[in-house]
């Protein structure tokens, strides 16, 4: 069994404005108690009410648990609801001064993060019955900042595909189309995204190896932030690979994402990948829009690279959303630069080079594969494919990643500060940061689904990504729109078998 060493440190609030009494851009005086439902609040809005004593942590938790009780039989966003410990934690927080920036805020945790004395299975046969005796560094830092952990969210088996049972039955549905399980919830962090979109959690922690923070956020109208490799500790996260796994938040908006990243980012002596890096900046300020001449504006001069034809691709509504996005950014002061991809971009980001990641996952679980391949369930073909990659293929793939990183830094970010991406895969291959957020809706006679954008940044460029998303969200309201509650007759949960089953070949084709 793969079990990292015990966590050696927990996160601390960083910087003079980030202790228990920090003020987040003056929102404390502006936020009012909603007339309808506390779960309509973003996390930073709820934090304002908690700080002012207008709402208690227990009241906020009760509102979320009520939605979980009413609707999670439909959404199936959670593997496990940690009701008793969450209620106890909220009561404890109500009796003390704020301990951190997430004080009293309910959050979901993807089921591949170690949670002390709580079942942690990565939704797999491999880790069936596993109960860790310590928290992942990320979880420990969330607890240290006052977060209330609602439960473990559904995921693809060992983080390989959309949320399924280990044998392939569909579980989690997209909150925007709960009656249609064929509408993808976005990737292996399906439960983390659905829990937030369905207002059953204020925010969630997820992981990304091949798009599973940014893609679920895109699919469900949320803000997903994948940090630079090493910015957030992987200690205590059940691995898929050692060189491409990235923990990060799925949130309602850029400010919520900044609150979570501020808490979990930083060096960890238990993960050498986090050491010797640039210091953690003030993400909260970066995600707070500035005003110029009484209008929202960008915090820093920003050049945004956009692929040729990006605004003219797709359906009429998608084209309209993308064009309005670019025109509004220009009004905010962003300089739009149409950029052809550099030479060899398509080759270096191809499926062939991306596939070398499979060898890493197979090596990690080699002993278990030798013991009983049935433990890998419906995801087995991708693990077998990893065993078939030769040593020279793997080395060529690693050289291609180095070449791609150099190409990105020297021939992309020499012309722009941030760049629109059609896919998260290139930046996942080289460990660079990404953010995704909603920019519109696509509508048909059957349903309304969110439209979004993925934007990439240079190494440790999370500040710039948050600033761009926050400025856009200051002048639009797409991030505030949420799906309607399910109708009567939507297929219920159980073991998920009534929702259909994915066959191994389809799982392998969509595997992260």
List, by residue number, the catalytic residues. Answer: 110, 188, 212
Q: Is 411 helix (H, G, I), strand (E, B) or coil?
A: helix
* Helix boundaries (H) for 150-207: 190-197
The count of other CB atoms within 10 Å of the CB of residue 331 is 11
- Cβ-based neighbours of 25, under 8 Å, separated by 6 or more: 284, 285, 288
List Cα–Cα distances, 410 to 98, 303, 407, 414, 420, in angstroms. 45, 15, 5, 6, 17
Instruction: List phi, psi (to 5°) of 426.
Output: -55, -45
Instruction: List phi, psi (to 5°) of 371.
Output: -75, -50
Distance separating alpha carbons of residues 112 and 236, to the nearest angstrom: 8
CA torsion 192-193-194-195 (nearest 10°) is 50
- Asked whether 431 and 457 are in contact (CB, 8 A), the reply is no
- Asked whether 421 and 214 are in contact (CB, 8 A), the reply is no
Comparing C-alpha atoms, which of 291, 226, 222 is closest to residue 253?
222
List Cα–Cα distances, 495 to 111, 166, 313, in angstroms. 17, 11, 39
- Cβ-based neighbours of 471, under 8 Å, separated by 6 or more: 289, 296, 297, 298, 299, 329, 332
- Per DSSP, the residues of 95-152 read TS---STTTT-EEEEETTB--TTS---TTSSTTTT---SS--HHHHHHHHTT-EEEEE
- Asked whether 256 and 223 are in contact (CB, 8 A), the reply is yes
């Amino acid at each position: 069994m793969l079990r990292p060493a015990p966590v050696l440190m927990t996160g601390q609030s960083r910087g003079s404005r980030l202790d228990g009494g920090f003020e987040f851009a003056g929102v404390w005086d502006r936020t009012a108690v909603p007339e309808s439902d506390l779960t309509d609040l973003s996390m930073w809005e709820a934090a304002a009410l908690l700080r002012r004593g207008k709402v208690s942590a227990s009241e906020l938790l009760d509102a979320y648990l009520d939605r979980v009780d009413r609707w999670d039989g439909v959404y199936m966003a959670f593997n496990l609801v940690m009701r008793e410990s969450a209620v106890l934690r909220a009561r404890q927080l109500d009796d003390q001064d704020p301990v951190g920036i997430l004080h009293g805020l309910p959050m979901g945790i993807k089921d591949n993060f170690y949670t002390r004395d709580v079942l942690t299975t990565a939704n797999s046969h491999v880790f069936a019955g596993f109960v860790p005796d310590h928290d992942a560094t990320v979880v420990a830092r969330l607890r240290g900042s006052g977060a209330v952990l609602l439960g473990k969210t559904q995921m693809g088996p060992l983080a390989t595909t959309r949320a399924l049972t280990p044998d392939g039955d569909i579980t989690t549905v997209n909150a925007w189309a709960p009656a249609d399980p064929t509408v993808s919830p976005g990737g292996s962090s399906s439960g983390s995204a659905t829990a937030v979109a369905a207002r059953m959690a204020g925010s969630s922690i997820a992981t990304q190896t091949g798009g599973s923070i940014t893609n679920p956020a895109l699919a469900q109208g949320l803000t997903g932030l994948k940090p630079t490799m090493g910015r957030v500790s992987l200690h205590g996260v059940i691995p898929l690979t050692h060189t491409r796994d990235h923990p990060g938040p799925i949130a309602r908006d850029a400010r919520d994402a900044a609150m979570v990243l501020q808490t979990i980012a930083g060096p960890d002596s238990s993960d050498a990948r986090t050491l010797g890096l640039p210091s953690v900046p003030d993400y909260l300020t970066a995600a707070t829009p500035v005003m110029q001449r009484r209008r929202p504006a960008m915090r820093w001069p920003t050049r945004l690279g956009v692929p040729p034809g990006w605004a003219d691709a797709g359906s009429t509504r998608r084209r309209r959303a993308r064009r309005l996005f670019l025109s509004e950014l220009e009004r905010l002061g962003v300089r739009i630069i149409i950029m052809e991809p550099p030479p060899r971009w398509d080759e270096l980001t191809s499926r062939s080079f991306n596939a070398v990641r499979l060898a890493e996952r197979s090596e990690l679980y080699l002993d278990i594969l030798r013991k009983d391949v049935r433990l890998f369930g419906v995801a087995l073909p991708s693990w077998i494919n990893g065993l078939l990659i030769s040593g020279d293929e793997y080395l060529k793939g690693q050289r291609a990643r180095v070449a791609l990183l150099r190409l990105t830094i020297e021939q992309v970010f020499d012309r722009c500060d941030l760049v629109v991406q059609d896919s998260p895969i290139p930046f996942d291959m080289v460990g660079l940061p990404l953010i995704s957020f909603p920019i519109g809706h696509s509508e048909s006679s059957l349903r309304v689904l969110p439209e979004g954008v993925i934007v990439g940044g240079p190494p440790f460029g999370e500040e710039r990504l948050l600033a761009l998303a926050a400025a856009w969200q200051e002048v639009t309201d797409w991030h505030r729109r949420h799906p309607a509650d399910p109708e009567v007759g939507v297929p219920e949960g159980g073991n998920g078998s009534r929702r259909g089953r994915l066959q191994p070949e389809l799982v392998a084709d969509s595997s992260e």
